[in-house]
């Protein structure tokens, strides 16, 4: 029997979507079984790491055959909770919020986008991907009448904590945060931070390392006290 989800390290949870995507691509192929070594070639993870990751959830695979591609894909879908419905709302209907509204991956992963909120009178009433933008003033009333599982936060940083407090008071238990400001939430509220600028920083560092390695001379990084 697999371990409870709370006992699974975040690093393992972060690799599950990678396994899922590669197995999804194999659904249209004629391949019935895949070994951990073959999965390692696809994902870039070691075969031993893949076996260890999957062992957290039970016993998969058959000796001399490997993993059943369809079965493992279905099991990962269940492990990741894609098999049950989750209602999500977006707070902030700016460019990022509207882009999130057009996300095609919600339904596949068990999410249903049911509303978008904003304070801008020019946006309220507009329809984005068949979803009408509502006034943020009606947030609590809407949440009282609808069981919301997740709130995606795309508001300006200065308003982030205030909106978060309102969401928590209204009963939200999971926040998908795009604000890139430190948010304070109770221990029983899940907070998933999407650090876009951090990703840009990581890319910049890696590209800079390649640039330096390919150049004839490295830049002087010494800091002298004056």
Q: Write out the binding residues for NAD(+).
A: 92-97
The Cα–Cα gap between 159 and 178 comes to 12
Q: What's the angle, vertex CA 91, arms to CA 85 and CA 97, rounded to 5?
A: 90
The Cα–Cα gap between 174 and 181 comes to 16
3-class state of residue 86 by DSSP: strand
Partners of residue 153 on adjacent β-strands? 91, 177
Neighbours of 38 (CB within 10 A): 17
Q: State the burial class of residue 23 (Cβ atoms within 10 Å of its Cβ: 0-12, 13-18, 19+).
A: buried
What residues form the annotated binding site? 92-97
Query: What is the enclosing helix (H) or strand (E) of 55?
Result: helix 47-55
């Amino acid at each position: 029997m697999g371990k409870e989800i709370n006992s699974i390290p975040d690093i393992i949870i972060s690799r599950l979507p990678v396994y899922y995507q590669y197995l999804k691509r194999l659904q249209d192929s004629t391949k019935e079984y895949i070994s951990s070594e073959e999965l390692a070639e696809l994902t870039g993870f070691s075969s031993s790491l893949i076996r260890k990751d999957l062992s957290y959830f039970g016993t998969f695979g058959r000796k001399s055959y490997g993993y059943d591609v369809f079965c493992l894909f279905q099991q990962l879908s269940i492990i990741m909770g894609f098999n049950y419905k989750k209602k999500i709302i977006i707070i902030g209907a700016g460019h990022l919020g509207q882009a999130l509204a057009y996300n095609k991956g919600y339904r596949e992963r068990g999410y249903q986008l049911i509303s978008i909120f904003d304070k801008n009178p020019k946006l309220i009433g507009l329809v984005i991907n068949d979803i009408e933008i509502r006034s943020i003033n009606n947030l609590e009333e809407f949440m009282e009448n609808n069981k919301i599982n997740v709130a995606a936060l795309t508001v300006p940083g200065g308003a982030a904590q205030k909106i978060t407090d309102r969401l928590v008071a209204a009963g939200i238990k999971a926040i998908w945060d795009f604000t890139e400001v430190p948010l304070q939430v109770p221990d029983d509220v899940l907070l998933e931070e999407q650090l876009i600028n951090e990703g840009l920083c990581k890319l910049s560092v890696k590209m800079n390392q390649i640039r330096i390695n390919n150049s004839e001379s490295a830049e002087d990084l010494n800091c002298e006290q004056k």
